[in-house]
């Protein structure tokens, strides 16, 4: 009979811990472990290393400890420096649970070889749960073998663990067929490099990340350029993706309709959306994004260097799933991606029309990234491609351009001491590069959602956008204090209502939110908008919600003039 046991997941231990944190952890688990009897207890950690509490963890009466040797930068060094108790099992996370690339057995065997010098009992493990990767590669019937041979999904990762075990048990591990095939794969060239793109990244200079004139001068110039009213109203960009819109896209992809038919339908929907916004009375309009399936997948499809799966779905949040594109090679823009629809939308309205783009950090964060180059280099490649699109939009008369960074906060390292060196030092420049070449008269917007922003508010201000919209309604507008305390200079639109609910906010409710914002934000810097895109909503709640938003802004405007 198998021995019963429990696994306690404690990813919090990979964060920066205080002495009090460590004392509390030790006290709690001493109590828990004192009552375990004959039950085995595993402590599982992941997404980093436990450098602040390694001694305490290995001193407690756990039967096993799981460590991450993929994202845990110091995990191997901790074992080598401090040893590992002989009465415990090390669950060694050596297969990446968050990405889809094959494991390099040569590199992994090197890690295991070092661990065997200090550990008597090792169980091979994934670095974290397999929730973050698709289920099985067997479902990918359309992906070419030249690509598939480099990928493993959840089911295949379990096979990798078995193969590693078999290699280790062989008399001559390096001569096993499995090892030889794996080594040959990693010695192959994937033919994914673009020397021109690499040269462009290498040639980037400090000036490529700095927009001139400085913010205060641009603020004055743009005020005259747009002459917007106090508390200008806008949306985040997308409008409801109805069944009709989705059917049009599906028919085009399956070849049932021509590209001209597909485009004509989208233009019709854009015209209807623009007319609706004008009727509602919004000040800055968006074209509705009817041509887009997903804010990252759409751009991946337009960029060279990406490949796409057929059924590689992963959970995003709740019941929503996404199919992340895969960064296969060096990224570049072959042709304009959004210009035609944006120019068409602007041509049928006098009010300013926003060009809508996804930023390089979000595109990267919501893709499966390469493992053969740094995230910084990949972000800069994507940034150069989005920069070309920004300049094209500007050259074609689009004067307001929104570069969404919805996932900017999402990929901050769990350990705060790593935030700057491992993320912010390249993520912020990647965004700044995108808009550093535009004219002073061009207004750059961005949008962030799905996160708390208080602890990086200065970094967000340093992205040097002209306007930023936040998802803030679900956090009871707690971000307002951080904006005030840090003298946030960027014009800002904290969302006045939650689009994730089908509930229609009333005028007085929105006015109450705006009055609360005005306690912390200067009136001349405050924008009025929903807290996220409207793609997942229906017209039945979208239209009255926006009507109430505009009415509330008008009434607040009258009260403050």
Cβ-proximal residues to 434 (8 Å cutoff; 6+ apart), any chain = 359, 360, 383, 386, 387, 390, 403
Active-site residue, 500 included? yes
Q: Of the residues 132, 287, 491, 500, which is catalytic?
A: 500
Query: How far is residue 245's CA from residue 269's CA, in Å, rounded to a whole number?
Result: 8
Q: Is the dihedral of CA 323, 328, 330, 334 positive or negative?
A: negative
Return the beta strands (E) in 200-347 as ranges.
Answer: 303-307, 314-317, 320-322, 326-333
Query: How far is residue 120's CA from residue 84's CA, in Å, rounded to a whole number?
Result: 8
Query: How far is residue 455's CA from residue 417's CA, in Å, rounded to a whole number?
Result: 13
- On the question of a cis peptide bond just before residue 246, with omega within 30 degrees of 0, the verdict is no
Three-class secondary structure assignment of 62-106: CCEEEEECCCCCCHHHHHHHHCCCCCCEEEEEEECCCCCECCCHH
Token couple for 207: 């000036």
Helix 375-395 and helix 195-202, axial crossing angle in degrees, nearest 10: 90
Quick one: DSSP state of residue 417? G
Query: How far is residue 341's CA from residue 557's CA, in Å, rounded to a whole number?
Result: 32
Q: Is the dihedral of CA 91, 94, 97, 102 positive or negative?
A: negative
3-state secondary structure of 123: strand
Location of structure tokens 């009979």: 1
Distances (CA, A) of 462 to 137, 209, 521: 41, 11, 18
Query: How far is residue 468's CA from residue 462's CA, in Å, rounded to a whole number?
Result: 12
Bridge-based pairing of strands 320-322 and 314-317 is antiparallel
3-state secondary structure of 43: strand
Give yes or no for a contact between 63 and 88, defined as CB atoms under 8 angstroms apart: yes
Quick one: DSSP state of residue 34? H
Positions annotated as catalytic residues are: 500
């Amino acid at each position: 009979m198998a021995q019963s046991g429990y696994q306690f997941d404690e990813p919090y231990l990979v964060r920066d811990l205080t002495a009090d944190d460590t004392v509390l952890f030790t006290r709690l688990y001493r109590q828990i472990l004192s009552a375990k009897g004959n039950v085995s207890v595993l402590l599982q950690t992941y997404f980093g290393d436990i450098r602040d509490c390694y001694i305490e963890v290995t001193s407690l009466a756990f039967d096993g400890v799981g460590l991450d040797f993929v994202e845990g930068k110091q995990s191997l060094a901790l074992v080598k420096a401090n040893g590992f108790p002989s009465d415990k099992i090390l669950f060694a996370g050596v297969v990446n649970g968050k990405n889809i690339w094959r494991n390099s057995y040569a590199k992994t065997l090197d890690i295991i070889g070092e661990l065997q010098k200090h550990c008597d009992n090792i169980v091979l493990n994934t670095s974290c749960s397999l929730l973050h990767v698709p289920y099985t590669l067997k479902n990918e019937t359309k992906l070419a073998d030249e690509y598939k041979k480099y990928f493993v999904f959840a089911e295949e990762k379990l096979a990798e663990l078995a193969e590693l075990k078999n290699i280790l048990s062989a008399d001559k591990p390096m001569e096993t067929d499995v090892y030889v095939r794996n080594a040959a794969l990693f010695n192959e060239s994937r033919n994914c490099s673009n020397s021109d793109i690499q040269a462009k990244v290498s040639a980037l200079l400090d000036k490529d990340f700095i927009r001139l004139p400085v913010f205060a001068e641009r603020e004055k110039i743009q005020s005259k350029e747009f002459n917007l009213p106090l508390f200008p109203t806008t949306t985040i960009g997308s409008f409801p993706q109805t069944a009709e819109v989705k059917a049009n896209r599906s028919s085009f992809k399956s070849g049932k309709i021509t590209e001209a038919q597909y485009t004509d339908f989208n233009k019709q929907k854009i015209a209807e959306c623009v007319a609706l916004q004008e009727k509602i009375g919004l000040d800055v309009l968006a074209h509705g994004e009817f041509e887009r399936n997903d804010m990252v997948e759409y751009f991946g499809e337009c960029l060279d260097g990406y490949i796409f799966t057929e059924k590689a779905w992963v959970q995003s949040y709740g019941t929503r799933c996404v199919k992340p594109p895969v960064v296969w090679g060096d990224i570049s823009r072959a042709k304009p991606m959004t210009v035609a629809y944006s120019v068409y939308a602007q041509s049928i309205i006098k009010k300013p029309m926003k060009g809508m783009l996804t930023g390089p950090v979000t595109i990267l964060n919501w893709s499966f990234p390469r493992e053969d180059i740094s995230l910084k280099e990949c972000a800069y490649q994507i940034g150069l491609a989005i920069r070309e699109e920004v300049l094209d939009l500007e050259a074609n008369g689009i004067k307001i351009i929104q570069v969404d960074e919805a996932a900017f906060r999402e990929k901050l390292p769990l350990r705060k001491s790593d935030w700057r060196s491992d993320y912010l030092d390249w993520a912020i420049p990647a965004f700044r590069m995108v808009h550093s070449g535009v004219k002073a008269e061009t207004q750059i917007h961005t949008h962030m959602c799905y996160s708390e922003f208080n602890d990086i508010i200065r970094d967000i201000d340093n992205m040097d956008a002209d306007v930023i919209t936040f998802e803030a309604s679900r956090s009871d507008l707690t971000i307002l204090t951080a904006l005030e305390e840090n003298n946030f200079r960027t014009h800002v639109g904290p969302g006045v209502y939650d689009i994730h609910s089908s509930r229609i906010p009333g005028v007085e409710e929105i006015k109450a939110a705006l009055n609360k914002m005005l306690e912390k934000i200067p009136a001349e810097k405050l924008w009025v908008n929903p807290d996220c895109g409207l793609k997942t909503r229906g017209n039945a709640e979208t239209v009255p919600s926006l009507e109430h938003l505009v009415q509330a802004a008008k009434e607040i405007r009258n009260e403050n003039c």
